[in-house]
């Protein structure tokens, strides 16, 4: 198993764990945490490919990952702000109870 494969598998595992958490936990904040974890797994993928790819000197992978970090941070901020606002209205962060958009 090449190092790259190892990193990729780790990233895949992290991704799945994050997804599992996002799909199963009740609290909205924990869903966001799961999403952060998924994003981080993707970042790891990017860096790994940058490192073991053909042209690391082009910095493509690294740049991608940096931007991803920035965007993730922004998104976390907005998301958490929304959760806080929802909590003010519904007095709960339980996702199971948030089905007002039910068809």
Partner 1 sequence: MSIVFYLLAALTVAGGLAAMLLKNMVHCVLALTVAFAGLALLFLKLDAQFAGFAQILVYIGAVAILVVFAILLTRGSETPKDGVFSRSWLIGLVIAAAVFAVLGWAVLQSARVLPHETAIPVVTVKQIGAALVGRYVLPLEIVAVLLTAAMIGAVIVAMHENVGHEKEGSK
Partner 2 sequence: MIQEAISVAPQLAVSPIAEILWLIPALPIVAAGLGALRKQAGRKTAATLAIGSLSFSLLLSLFAFVHVLSDWINGVATREIANFTWIQFGATNVDLGWVLDPLSAIILVMVSFVGLLIFIYSIGYMKHDENSTRFFCFMSLFAGAMLGVVIANSLLLLFMCWEIVGLTSYLLIGFWYQRPAAAAAAKKAFLTTRIGDVFFLLGIVWLFAQTGTLLLYNNGAGSIESSSLSLLLSQPAALGLTAASAIGLLIFAGAVGKSGQLPLHVWLPDAMEGPTPVSALIHAATMVAAGVYLIARVYPLMAAGALAGGTTTALTVVTWVGATTAVFAALIAVAQNDIKRILAYSTVSQLGYMMAGLGMGGVAVGIFHLITHAFFKALLFLGAGSVIHGCHEEQNVRRMGGLKADMPLTFAAYGIGMLALCGFPLLSGFWSKDGILEAAQHWSVAQTPFYMLVIGALLTAFYMTRQVAYVFFGHWRGGKLAHESPALMTVPLAFLAFFALALGFIGTPAWPWFRAFLDGRAAGFAWSGFMEPGLLTLMGTSTVVVLLGIILAWQLYGDRSPKPTAPDALEKIAPIVWGWLNNKFYVDEFYGVTVIAFYGWWARVSDWLDRRIWGGAIAGVAWAFGMGARLNRFLDTNVVDGGFDKGCEELTVGGGLLSRVQTGRVQTYLRILALAVVALAAILIWSSRA
Which of positions 36-65 make contact with partner 1 (CB under 8 A)?
36-37, 40, 43-44, 47-48, 50-54, 56-57, 59, 62-63, 65
Residue 49 and residue 26 in contact, taking contact as beta carbons nearer than 8 Å: no
CB of 2 to partner 1, least distance (A): 6
With CB under 8 A as the contact rule, the residue among 8, 19, 72, 83 that binds partner 2 is: 19
CB of 103 to partner 1, least distance (A): 18
d(CA 59, CA 34): 28
- Residue 21 host element (H or E): helix 3-24
101 binds, among partner 2, partner 1, none (CB under 5 to 8 A by kind): partner 2
| CB neighbour class for 81 (10 Å; exposed up to 12, middle 13-18, buried from 19) | exposed
Told to check if 23 binds partner 2 by CB under 8 A, we report yes
């Amino acid at each position: 198993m090449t190092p790259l494969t190892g990193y990729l598998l780790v990233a895949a595992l992290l991704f799945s764990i994050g997804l599992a958490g996002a799909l199963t936990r009740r609290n909205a904040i924990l869903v966001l945490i799961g999403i952060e974890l998924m994003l981080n797994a993707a970042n790891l993928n990017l860096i790994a490919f940058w490192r073991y790819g053909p042209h690391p000197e082009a910095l493509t992978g690294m740049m991608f990952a940096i931007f991803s970090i920035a965007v993730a941070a922004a998104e976390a901020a907005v998301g958490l702000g929304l959760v806080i606002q929802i909590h003010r209205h519904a007095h709960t962060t339980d996702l199971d109870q948030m089905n007002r958009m039910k068809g």
